[in-house]
Amino acid sequence: MAQEPLVEKRVFQLPRFTTQSGRTLKDVRIGWESYGRLNADKSNAVLICHFFSGTSHAAGRYAASDAEAGYWDAIIGPGKAIDTDRWFVLSSDTLVNLNTGDPRVTTTGPASLDPETGRAYGPDFPVVTIADFVAVQKALVESLGITRLAMVAGPSMGSLQTYEWAVSHPEMVGKAMAVIGAAEADAQLIGWLDVWSAPIRLDPNWNGGAYYDGAPPEAGLARALTAMTLQANHGDWVNATFGRRPAVEGTDPASALSARFQVQSVLDNAGELRARLCDANHFLYLAKANQLFVAGGRSLEDAMQRLRAPLLVISHPRDLVFPEAMVLRTVEAARAAGRVVTHLNIEGKRGHLDGVMSMKQAEGAIRAFLEG
C-alpha cells in the first residue's frame, strides 16, 4: 500500500454565478481538495459531497501532525474502498458552508463581503439550494476538463447533492452512492430543521441576520448545534456514553434548577466550542437549502425516472435524521422506475453518524459497486 500523501487545499473561483432564484453573485469562491491523480483521459474522477456541518476534508491530512484525518478516510485512500491509487477523488466546500471560522474553509455566503458594497451580505444574500451547490461543483469539475464522473457520493446532505447530481446531470454521473439520506426532504425533516434553527432566531443578537457589525448570536448558534448533534446520535450511544450521571459528581440534578446532567453539560460545551468556528446565518441558509430539497426540483417519482446511474444506497435502520421509512421511499421509487439499486444497512450505536464514522464496515460493498 502506498504511503498517503498530505492534502493540499485549493480555491475555485467563479467571476459570476446565477442562483436558482435568479440572483447573480460576483466572485463566488469555494475551497476544494483532491486525492490521487487524474488520468490522461480524465475518466477516473470521483466526487465526494459533504454533510451539513462538514467541509471538503473527506480524507487524508493537511499536515503529518494533524490529530485526525478527513471524515471518510476509512474508505478513501491508497488501497482503500475508493482506492486513490486508481481513482482521482475530489471534494469541495459548499456554498454557505457552516465553518466560516475554519481557516481552511473557503465559501461564499451571507458572512462574505458583497463586492458591490464592501460589507457582509447578511440577510441580503439570496436563498440558495442544493441545486446551487451542485451547479458550483459542476463548474469546478468542468474547469478540470472532466466531462463525466465515475461516481458521485456523500453522506447526509452529501447524499442530497448526490441525488441532485444524478437526476439533474444524468449524462455526467456513472454511479451514485447515497449514504444516510434520501432524494427528497419530507415534512418531518423540514420540521426538525426548523427546530434546529429556532435558537438562532430567538437569540436577540441575531437581529434578523444583520449582526456582522455587532455581537454574533453565538448562544443561539451553540444551542442549534447542540440540537443537531443530539439528533444525529441515536439514544443507544447517548445512553451508553452518559447514562443519568450528574454534570458535577456529587451534585444531584434534583437539587436545583441549575444543577444538570452530564449529557446536558457535555453537549452544551461542545456546541459552544463549535459555535466559535461557525456562522449562524450560514446555519440557517443550510437548513433552508435542505428543507427545499427535491432531487431535480421534481416529484420523487419523476426524479427517479430521470435518474440513469446505478445506485448504492447505504442507510442505518435507526437513523433519527433520515429515518428508514424516508430512505425506503427513495429506494422503492427508484426500483419502481426500473433503476438498478443496491441497498445496504450499516450497524452501530450512533445511528445517523455511523454513516460518517463507521463506514469501514461497508468497504467491500463500496469497492464492488465502484469497480463493478
Sequence-ordered alpha helix ranges (H) in 311-362: 324-336, 354-357
Confidence band, pLDDT 50/70/90 cuts, at residue 103: very high
CATH entry 3.40.50.1820 includes domain 10-185+294-371: yes
Query: What is the β-pairing status of strands 88-92 and 82-83?
Result: unpaired
Active-site hit among 91, 156, 159, 197: 156
In the predicted model, what is the mean pLDDT of residues 223-244? 96
Residues 10-43: tens digit of each pLDDT: 999 999 999 999 999 999 999 999 999 999 999 9
Q: Is residue 359's pLDDT more than 60?
A: yes
Fold: same for 10-185+294-371 and 190-286: no
Active-site hit among 93, 203, 319, 354: 319
User: What does the domain layout of the chain look like in residue ranges?
Assistant: 10-185+294-371, 190-286
From 112, 109, 161, 154, select the one nearest 135 (Cα to Cα).
161
pLDDT of 211 reads 98
In the predicted model, what is the mean pLDDT of residues 81-88? 97
Share of the chain above pLDDT 90, in %: 97
CATH-assigned architecture of domain 190-286: Orthogonal Bundle (1.10)
- 168/367 Cα distance (integer angstroms): 25
- Quick one: 244 exposed, middle or buried, by C-beta within 10 A (0-12, 13-18, 19+)? exposed
Residues in Cβ contact with 227 at an 8 Å cutoff, skipping those fewer than 6 apart:
195, 196, 199
All three cell numbers of 198, joined, read 429556532
Half-sphere exposure of 306 (CA within 13 A, CB side): 21
Residues 127-178: tens digit of each pLDDT: 999 999 999 999 999 999 999 999 999 999 999 999 999 999 999 999 999 9
Whether 352 is catalytic: yes
Please name the helix (run of DSSP H) or strand (run of DSSP E) that holds residue 26, with its range, or none: strand 24-35
Residues 183 and 304: beta-carbon distance below 8 Å: yes
Residues 278-334: tens digit of each pLDDT: 999 999 999 999 999 999 887 999 999 999 999 999 999 999 999 999 999 999 999
Amino acid at 202: L
Q: Is residue 3's pLDDT more than 60?
A: no
Confidence band, pLDDT 50/70/90 cuts, at residue 1: very low
Neighbours of 308 (CB within 10 A): 14
pTM: 0.96
